[in-house]
Structure 1
Amino acid sequence: MGATEKLAAYLANYQGIVGKVVNFDPAVDKLFPLDLTAANTELDADMVADTEAFSQYINQKLAESNSRYAIGGYMEHRTMYARSVHFDTEGEPRRLHLGVDIWGDSGTPIYSPLAGTIHSFQDNNNFGDYGPTIILQHNVDGLTFYSLYGHLSRVSLIGLAIGQHIEAGQQIATLGNATENGHWPPHLHFQLMLDIGDAKGDYPGVGKYSEKAKHLQNIPDPALLLNASGLALYSFFMR
């Protein structure tokens, strides 16, 4: 049983609240499916390496499609990570995106979909990295797992404490801008993990493509929570 199936089985019996991750009204708001694989020939290496040009591309897509957010990325093979040496590892570079990205405006409020506690947080301040990051710990019907929120604003880390209780639907952060979020167009990296070992304030959001099968055993599809929290249109990304 993979991680997605395991978490789905526990959520099926869960009696608690599943809250939103971002503000979204499916009656009026739209999502744009953003493909960041090599199949998207509108993007080239030069554009992706230029944060301003990359941001303009995403904003153009949002405007043209009249969408509130662009979304996608779970287990997506992204050659664009060549923009940063942060993803270069010996033998095989990391190119497999392990979470879901929700692209929107800086300052966008971010919420926890489930009750939990603050496991850890830190500013991963490197080019191409997460920037400010929060990891929450949850328990669903006896299953402990973790949710990660990357590319936040620095102010999001002020006043946090390890072990602090978080309610379902409670705002925990805002999206950072490119000067503070690892030099990316504003977006949330949202990722679920069953086990994070001794990691604190950081956990890989991009892995080696050759290790996809291993990652699928530990990293559930975030669509499980995003669909339940109101991003119903996310279903076309289910793997």
Structure 2
Amino acid sequence: MSAEKSARLKQYLEENAGQIASVVPFDISSDKLYPFDFTASNTELDPAILGDTKVFSQWVRQKLEKEDCRYGVGGYNEHRTIYARSNLFDMNEEPRRLHLGIDIWGPEGTPVFSPLAGKIHSFRFNDNFGDYGATIILEHQVGNLKFHTLFGHLDLASIKDLEKGSAVIRGDKIAVFGGESENGHWPPHLHFQLIFDLDGFEGDYPGVCRYSEREVYLHNCPDPDIILKHTFGY
């Protein structure tokens, strides 16, 4: 059923491409993207970098500056070794390592916009080391299909005056990238994820799963590129 939902959502978004707003500011004619790789093949990321959030942030910044890129992107269905930096992902016999969203790495304070009309489903400050930090989940209805967009690693001010059920207009500024102390202790970035069934979660939903659960989660969390490609033009 989820595969059918994904196909229907993709078709709707392709047929209504002009109704999709950019998630972050981006000029297709001049801005560039850097494809970050956070798998085991990236041997640059040693424990000394990953173990210190400020050093990790500096590493991300330097990569973007060197390549003259406005943002770094990537991560959907990526098996990431970087989650070993937090016990949050190692609480069971099989650690969580498979990333279910797309990350957009960029400066703290970068504005975030709702790509579609909807309403505020829930929000929360997930204040664990390695967690989402300030998080917003929107609910969208396209035809008879309901799905959600999750925005993680935001600043705390973004969730200060929100009300569940409040309407959100396509293109509304809903948040900004948070700093390290309020975004789960990560380099500034946005975790953007699509979710069909939230399974009762409020202001939270796994953004990383165990590899053995890959098929179940990927069916429930389709590739965010079906929306983000309209931001970045790839």
Q: TM-score range by the shorter chain?
A: over 0.9
Q: Pick from 134, 137, 143: which aligns with 1:135?
A: 137
Name the structure 1 match of 2:164: 162
2:232 is aligned with 1:231: yes
How much does 1:15 deviate? Answer: 7.9
CA gap of 1:25–1:216, structure 2 versus 1, over 3 A, is: same
In the alignment, the residues of structure 1 paired with residue 29 and residue 157 of structure 2 have an alpha-carbon distance, to the nearest angstrom, of 32
Name the structure 2 match of 1:47: 49
Deviations 1:206-237 (A, max 9, x none): 10011111112111101000112x3113xxxx
Name the structure 2 match of 1:149: 151
Matches within 5 A, 1:1-239: 1=3, 4-14=6-16, 17-228=19-230, 230-233=231-234
| Conserved 8 A contact 1:30-1:67 | yes
| Conserved 8 A contact 1:10-1:143 | no
CA gap of 1:189–1:15, structure 2 versus 1, over 3 A, is: closer
SS of the equivalent of 2:73 reads strand
How much does 1:109 deviate? Answer: 0.4
| Paired AA for residue 80 in structure 2 | R
Gaps of 5+ in 1: 234-239
**TM-score for the superposition, normalised by structure 1:** 0.93
How much does 1:16 deviate? Answer: 7.1
Gaps of 5+ in 2: none
| Conserved 8 A contact 1:13-1:141 | no
| Conserved 8 A contact 2:113-2:174 | yes
| Conserved 8 A contact 1:148-1:190 | yes
**TM-score for the superposition, normalised by structure 2:** 0.95
| Conserved 8 A contact 2:179-2:188 | yes
